[in-house]
Structure 1
Amino acid sequence: MGESGKKLKVAVLVTEYRYNSHADVILGRLLGDFAYCPRVEVVSMYTDQVPDGDMSREAADRCGIPVCPSIAEAIRADHSGGPVDGVIIIAEHGNYPKNEKGQILYPRRRFLEETLAALDELGRAVPIFSDKHLAYTYRDSRWMYDEMKARGIPFMGGSSIPYADLVPALDLGRARSMKMILVISNGGLECYGFHAMEVLQSIAEFREGGETGVRSVELIRGGQGEVWEAMDRGEWPEDLLLHALSVYPDLPQVHPRTSEPDPAMYRIEYADGTKAFIIQFKRLHEHWAFAFRDREGRIAASRYDNDLDRPFSHFERLTRAIETFFLTRRPPQPPERTLLTSGMISFAMDSLFAGKKLETPELMIQYAAHPVLEGEE
C-alpha cells in the first residue's frame, strides 16, 4: 500500500496482449489471473497493436479499466482521479519489422520517450519497469538509462529467468573468485540470447570487487561445425560445458556435438580478465544452465528451473518483484545490470553482422551486486 493506505496506481503499456505473451503473464496477474492477488492497482492500459486473439479489450471491460488511445493519457489517468504512481512497459511480441542484423525493432525507446514526456509535464518521477532489455541498440539503451537517471526515476528491467529456482541449489557466494563461466542457452539469437546474458550477469556480478565492465563481445552463429572446432582447439572449455550439461536430468548420454552440430557461441571478455562463453543450442534443452571455475580450479554448476508452460511461476516471482519495487522504489538488482546486459546483446548482434570480435569501451560499466529484496511489503 502507499502512504495513504490505498493501492498504488499503475499504468501498463504493451505492444500486444494475447495468450502467453509477456503482457498475459505479467499484466494478467496484476488483473487477478493465475489466482494472483495484486498489491497494486492497474488503472489504465495502452496497447500499440491489437492482434488476432487480443485479450486487452475483454480484460479491460471485465476489470473496468480503460484502454487509452495514447501513452500520455494512460499516465495522466484522469479517469482515476489523478496520475499514476508507477509505469510498466512490456514492449515484447507484436508485428514489428526487423533490421539487417535480424533484430526486431520493438518500440521500447519510443514508449519510454512518451512516458517521460508525460511525467515531465506532470512534474512526477515515478518508478518504471521495462521488460527485458532496454533497446535493440546500445545508443538507445544508454539514452534511456541516462534520461531516467537524470530525472531520479527508479528503474527496473531485465529477464524473468533469474527469478527461477537454481537446481541444484547453489550459493552464489562461490562465484566471488570466479575466473571463467559457461552458460547453456537456446532459441533465437537476440530474444533468447538476452536471457542468456542475464543468466550470465546474475552470476558474474558476484565476483569479488563487483562488476567492472566488459572489454569485448563476439558472436559466432555456427555453421560447418565452427563452434566445435574452436572447442577442439582449446578456445573454449569443454569441461565446463560437460559440467553444465550434468545438471539436466533428461538429456541423452551423448556429446551434444552429435545432436547439435551448429550451435551459436557468444564470447565475453570482462575488464578484470574473467572470460565467459554462452553456447546457444537450437533444441537441446529449454532451461538455462551454467558452470563456472574459480581461481582454485573448483567447478560449480546449476540451472534455472523455469516453467516451460503455464503458470510460468518465474513470471509470478517477477511480478511480485515489480510490485515490491513500486512499493519501496528500490529495484531488486542495480539498473546498471540491465544497461550492461542490454549493451552485451546489442554488441553481440553487431559483432555477428560485422563478422568479428568487437572491443566495447562503452561497456566499462561498474556496479556492486545486491541481493533480491525478499519479503518486503
Structure 2
Amino acid sequence: MDNRPKIAAITTIYHKYAHTQHIVDRFLEGYGWNSRHHYPPMDLVSLYVEQVKDNDISKDRLERFPTMKGYPTIAEALTLGGEELAVDGVLLIGEHGEYPSNDKGQRLYPRYEHFMEMVEVFQKSGRSVPVFLDKHLSWNWDWAQEMYDISQSMGFAFMAGSSLPVTWRTPSIDMPLGTSVSEGVCVGYGGVDSYDFHALETLQCMVERREGGESGVKWLQAYRGESFWTAHHEKLWSRELFESALSRSHTLTPSRPGFNNPFPTLDEMREIVKDPIAYQYEHNDGLKSTMILMNGLVQDFNFAAYIGSNQDILSTQMYLPMPPARTTLANFFSPLVNNIEKMFLSGEATYPVERTLLTTGLVAAGVDSLFDDEAKIDTPHLDIAYQATEDSTFWRT
C-alpha cells in the first residue's frame, strides 16, 4: 500500500456530469478498459472542492471512500495537513462552477490561481510532482505562458487538455507521422471560450504530426454570422474539406422533413445554423487551419485535411458521445484518465503540453478577434514549435 502513488485532487465543484466527477470518480471507482474493469494502481488520498452546492456529491464520495480525506485549503490537500508536499501527483480540475465572466464572454475559472497555490507548496517543499490540468491552461494568455514556463523551470511533468485527442475515432485512423499537410478543417459545435477549445484540439492533435512538426501560428482571424457565410462563399477555407468533415458526422441535422440522410444545401445550412463561427489561422510553415462551429447542424467534432503530394483527403470524427443523451458513462474520459495514470506512474507526460499551450493561445486569439470586430490578430507569441509523439494517444478499441 505504501508504495502506491498518492494523488491529490484540486477542483472547483463536484456534481453529476461535472468534469470532477468524470475524472475523480474513475480514480475512485475504476473504469472499463480493454475488456475488464480497471482500477488505477494509485490512491486518491485528498480532495479540495472550492464550491459546494446543493447538487454536491463530494460528501458522498468522502463517506464511501474513507481513505480520501477532504481539506479546506489547497495547501492542506497537498500536504495532507502537514508542513510539506505529501502526494505524488496532482489533478487540477477547474471546469464548471459559478464564476463570473468578463466583457469578452470568458468564464474566469481559477485555474491559474489554483496552479499558483500548488506551486507555492512545491517551492516551500523543495520538490514537485507530476500535474494534470483539465481543459486549456487559462482564459488569460499571459498566465498560461507563465504556468508553462514554471513547469519547465521546476521540471515537473505537466499535461493538460481535454478528451478530444485521446477518445475513439470513427474511422479509427491517424495522421501519418511526417506526412505533408497543406490545409486542415474541423467542423464542430459549442460556444466561444468553451467548445472552441475542443475543436482546436481536434485540429491540432492531427496536424501536429505533419512533416517538420508543429511550427507555431503567425495570425488568426475570426468570422461570425453573415461574415462567416461571406468567407465560406469566397472559399477562404476549402469547401471540399468542409463537406468531407460534415460527411463524418453522426449527428447531421436533417435538412428536410421526412428525410434523414440528404446533405444540406448552403441555403438549408443558413436556415439551420443561426450563428456560425470560424477561426482561421496560418501556421509559420504555411499550413492553413480553420476551426468551424456549426450549432444546430452537428453535435460532434469532425476533421478533414489535404495530405501528401497528391493532396489526398484524410478525414475522421473524434467520437465524443455526451451524456445523458447518447451514453450514461462519458467513456471518452477513460482514455484521458488512463494517460494521466501513465504520467503519474512514469513521471513523464504521454503527449506534449505545448499542444495545450498553443490551443490555449488560439482560443484567446479567437475571443480577441471576435471582440475586436473580427480583426486579424497577429500572434508572434504563438511561435510555439514542438514535435508530436511517435505513438498517437487516441483510444483504439
Shorter-chain TM-score bucket reads over 0.9
Cα contact 1:175–1:203 (8 A) shared by 2: no
**2:41 is aligned with 1:22:** no
* Corresponding residue of 1:311: 329
Query: Once structures 1 and 2 are overlaid, which stretch shifts more, 256-265 or 211-220?
Result: 256-265
- The equivalent residue for 2:132 is 129
SS in 2 for 1:181: strand
- In structure 2, the CA distance between the partners of 1:261 and 1:237, relative to structure 1 (3 Å rule), is farther
Question: 1:263 — aligned with what?
Answer: 276
Q: Is the 8 A contact 2:165 2:394 kept in 1?
A: no
Is 1:346 the counterpart of 2:353? The answer is no
Aligned position for 1:145: 148
Deviations 1:273-332 (A, max 9, x none): 100111101122221001101242211111011122221111011111101111011112
Match of 1:61 in 2: 63
CA distance 1:328–1:33, shift in 2 (3 Å): closer
**Per the alignment, in what secondary structure is the counterpart of residue 342 of structure 1?**
helix
Matched residue SS, 2:200: helix
Aligned to 2:205: 202
Flag the 1:320–1:67 CA change in 2: closer, same or farther, 3 A.
same
Q: 1:165 aligns with which of 165, 168, 190?
A: 168
SS in 2 for 1:94: coil
Q: Do the aligned partners of 2:251 and 2:298 also contact (CA within 8 Å) in 1?
A: no
Paired amino acid for 2:62: A
Q: Distance in 1 between matches of 2:72 and 2:185?
A: 45
1:10 is matched with which residue? Answer: 7
One-letter code aligned to 2:112? R
Moved more, 117-126 or 291-300: 291-300
Distance in 1, matches of 2:90 and 2:251, equals: 41
Q: What CA distance in whole angstroms lies between the structure 1 residues aligned with 2:12 and 2:93?
A: 7
Which residue number corresponds to residue 355 of structure 2? Answer: 337
CA distance in 1, matches of 2:85, 2:271: 60
Q: Which residue is 1:42 aligned to?
A: 44
Could you tell me how far 1:351 is from its partner in structure 2?
A: 1.3
Amino acid at match of 2:366: A
| Paired amino acid for 1:269 | E
Q: CA deviation at 1:174?
A: 7.0
Q: CA RMSD in A?
A: 2.0
User: Where does structure 1 differ by over 6 angstroms across 4 or more consecutive aligned residues?
Assistant: none
Residue of structure 1 in register with 2:236 after alignment:
235
- The DSSP-based 3-state class of the residue aligned with 2:221 is strand
**How many residue pairs align between the two structures?**
370
Deviation larger for 114-123 or 281-290: 281-290
8 Å Cα contact 2:180/2:210 also seen in 1: yes
The structure 1 residue matched to 2:304, chosen from 278, 291, 313, is 291
Contact 1:10 1:43 in 2 (8 A): yes
Q: TM-score, normalised by structure 2?
A: 0.89
Report whether the alignment pairs 1:177 with 2:177.
no
2:34 aligns with none
Q: Whole-Å Cα distance in 2 between the matches of residues 243 and 354 of structure 1?
A: 31
Deviation at 1:139, TM superposition (A): 0.3
Matching of residues 91-130 of structure 1 within 5 Å? 91-130=94-133
**Is the CA contact 2:185–2:303 (under 8 Å) kept in the aligned structure 1?**
yes
5+ long unaligned stretches in structure 2? 32-36, 255-261
Q: 1:272 and 1:139 mapped to 2: Cα distance? A: 24
On the 8 A contact 2:165/2:393 being kept in 1, the answer is: no
1:217 and 1:345 mapped to 2: Cα distance?
10
Identify which of 374, 377, 384 aligns with 1:358.
377
Read off the aligned partner of 2:312 and give its amino acid letter.
R
Q: CA deviation at 1:46?
A: 0.5
Q: Residues 239 and 263 from structure 1, CA distance in 2 versus in 1: closer, same or farther, beyond 3 angstroms? A: same
Q: What is the rounded CA distance, in whole Å, between the counterparts of 1:165 and 1:331 in structure 2?
A: 20
Paired residues of 2:280 and 2:291 also in contact (CA < 8 A): yes
Contact 2:30 2:40 in 1 (8 A): no
Q: CA deviation at 1:148?
A: 1.2
- Structure 2 residue matching 1:162: 3-state secondary structure: coil
Task: Give the TM-score normalised by structure 1.
Answer: 0.93
Deviates more, 1:119-128 or 1:11-20: 119-128
Secondary structure of the 1:172 match is coil
Greater helix share, structure number: 1
Give the counterpart of 2:292 among 279, 285, 292.
279
- Residue 82 of structure 1, CA deviation: 6.8
For the 8 Å contact 1:187–1:283, the answer to whether it is kept is no
Which string of whole-angstrom CA distances, capped at 9 and with x for unpartnered residues, describes residues 219-263 of structure 1?
22x22x321221111222111111111112453321333421431
- Tell me what 2:245 maps to: 244
1:12 Cα deviation after fit: 0.2
Q: What displacement does 1:373 show?
A: 6.1
Write the distance in 1 (CA, Å) between the matches of 2:311 and 2:163.
31
- Contact map agreement 1:286 1:308 (CA 8 A) in 2: no
**Structure-2 change in CA distance of 1:149 and 1:118 (3 Å):** same
- 3-state DSSP class of the match of 1:58? helix
User: Are 1:302 and 2:305 counterparts?
Assistant: no
Greater Cα offset, 61-70 or 84-93:
61-70
Match of 2:258 in 1: none
